């Protein structure tokens, strides 16, 4: 889709005129060093930016990136005089305008003063817990093949600390082994020491690539609450899958239930104390967005769907944000 009421690329070219930057901007022109970027640079957005699927400003819009967001430059585009950059920010990936044709910066390298979690702070072969969603790749390089994902709370064993950058580590989870980032672009730790009391009785974590998670997502999408309950409660508590598991696009079971318009499926998911209602997918949508969306299964005459209305009421009662 295209942002309404604006020309193609308008957000990239005009945003610095009306949005305050997060990092302090000076009246002096940017230095040559500030104007140039390299793959691997850790940066912050200075304004709201439009993330697109391709280098062209005519390509599809993925989402909008907020000001102050940490991201990493993966690749520089060939277009001139505007500098386009392929960037990655968590699960989001796409192209932005890093520098306009008039040399206005839309991103700036992260200050060197931001603390970095180094090898001296970690223990090889130690047990750690993932503090947020983590992407697992085949090698230390950020452009290496994607192997899977680790959800928040997953337990991993730290096997190796990266050589090219101190914030990349190789870990082994329940069903995936590979490289993850242990510090985000703002210097915040993404993995933490697992308390000893959780080491013996920890909850098994399933990645988006596991067979059980895929089956759970299929059942939630179909609104089959009874089958979902039977699947999730069939094993021991130690083997129970994460009720907040996601697919490769960051969509949770609750979002799938919202898409299905199934208040029963959502109600079952919400019976779990650990269920998180305000999770966002890669397009920054919550389960409420999916629940409120009219589908082909709804009244073809355009009337209200009472089941979707009931679903929305359940989500609101569970504390979902109506301002997301």
CATH code at position 68 = 2.30.30
Cis peptide before 81 (omega within 30 of 0): yes
What CATH number should be reported for the domain holding residue 224? 1.25.40.20
∠ CA(129), CA(315), CA(227), 5° rounding? 75
pLDDT for 297 beyond 60: no
Same domain as 89, residue 188: no
In angstroms, the CA 73 to CA 88 distance is 7
Residues 73 and 156 in one domain: no
- Please check whether residues 181 and 245 belong to one and the same domain: no
Which H or E run includes 309? Answer: helix 306-317
How big is the chain, counted in residues? 324
pLDDT tens-digit series, residues 105-148: 999 887 654 444 444 567 888 888 877 667 888 998 877 888 88
| Residue 105, domain extent | 41-109
Question: For the segment 10-20, what is each residue's pLDDT rounded down to a tens digit?
Answer: 333 323 222 33
CA 320 to the chain's CA centroid: 18
Instruction: Say what the pLDDT of residue 9 is.
Output: 35
pLDDT value at 239 more than 70 = no
Among 22-31, 61-70, 190-199, which is the least confidently predicted range?
22-31
Integer CA distances (angstroms), 293 to 101, 173, 284, 286, 310, in order? 39, 36, 15, 11, 13
Total number of domains in the chain: 3
The answer to whether residues 219 and 298 belong to one domain is: yes
3-state secondary structure of 196: helix
* Residue 101 pLDDT: 85
Same domain membership, residue 154 and residue 236 = no
What does the radius of gyration of the chain's CA atoms come to, in whole angstroms? 22
Angle made by CA atoms 16, 22, 26, in degrees to the nearest 5: 70
For residues 174-199, give the mean pLDDT: 69
Categorize the per-residue pLDDT at 269 as very low, low, confident or very high, splitting at 50, 70 and 90. Answer: very high
The answer to whether position 234 is within a domain reads: yes
């Amino acid at each position: 889709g295209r942002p309404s009421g604006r020309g193609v690329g308008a957000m990239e070219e005009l945003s610095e005129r009306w949005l305050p930057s997060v990092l302090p901007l000076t009246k002096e022109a940017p230095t040559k060093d500030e104007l140039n970027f390299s793959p691997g640079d850790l940066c912050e957005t200075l304004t709201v930016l439009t993330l697109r699927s391709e280098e062209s400003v005519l390509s599809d819009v993925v989402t909008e990136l907020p000001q102050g967001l940490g991201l990493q430059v993966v690749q520089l585009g060939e277009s001139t005089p505007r500098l386009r950059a392929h960037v990655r920010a968590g699960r989001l990936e796409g192209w932005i305008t890093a520098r306009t044709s008039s040399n206005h910066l839309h991103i700036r390298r992260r200050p060197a003063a931001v603390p970095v979690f180094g090898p001296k702070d970690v223990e090889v072969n130690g047990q750690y817990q993932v503090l947020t969603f983590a992407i697992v790749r085949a090698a230390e390089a950020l452009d290496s093949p994607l192997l899977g994902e680790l959800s928040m709370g997953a337990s991993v064993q730290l096997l190796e600390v990266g050589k090219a950058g101190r914030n990349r580590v190789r870990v082994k989870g329940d069903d995936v082994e590979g490289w993850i980032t242990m510090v985000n672009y703002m210097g915040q730790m993404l993995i933490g020491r697992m308390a000893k009391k959780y080491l013996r009785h920890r909850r098994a974590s399933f990645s988006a690539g596991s067979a059980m998670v895929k089956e759970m997502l299929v059942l939630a999408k179909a609104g089959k609450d009874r089958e979902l309950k039977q699947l999730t409660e069939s094993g021991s508590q130690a083997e129970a899958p994460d009720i907040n598991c996601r697919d490769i696009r960051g969509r949770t079971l609750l979002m799938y239930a919202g898409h299905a318009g199934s208040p029963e499926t959502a109600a079952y998911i919400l019976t779990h104390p650990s269920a998180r209602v305000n999770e966002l997918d890669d397009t920054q949508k919550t389960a409420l967005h999916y629940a409120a969306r009219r589908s082909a299964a709804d009244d073809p005459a355009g009337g209200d769907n009472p089941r979707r209305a009931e679903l929305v009421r359940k989500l609101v009662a569970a504390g979902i944000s109506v301002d997301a």
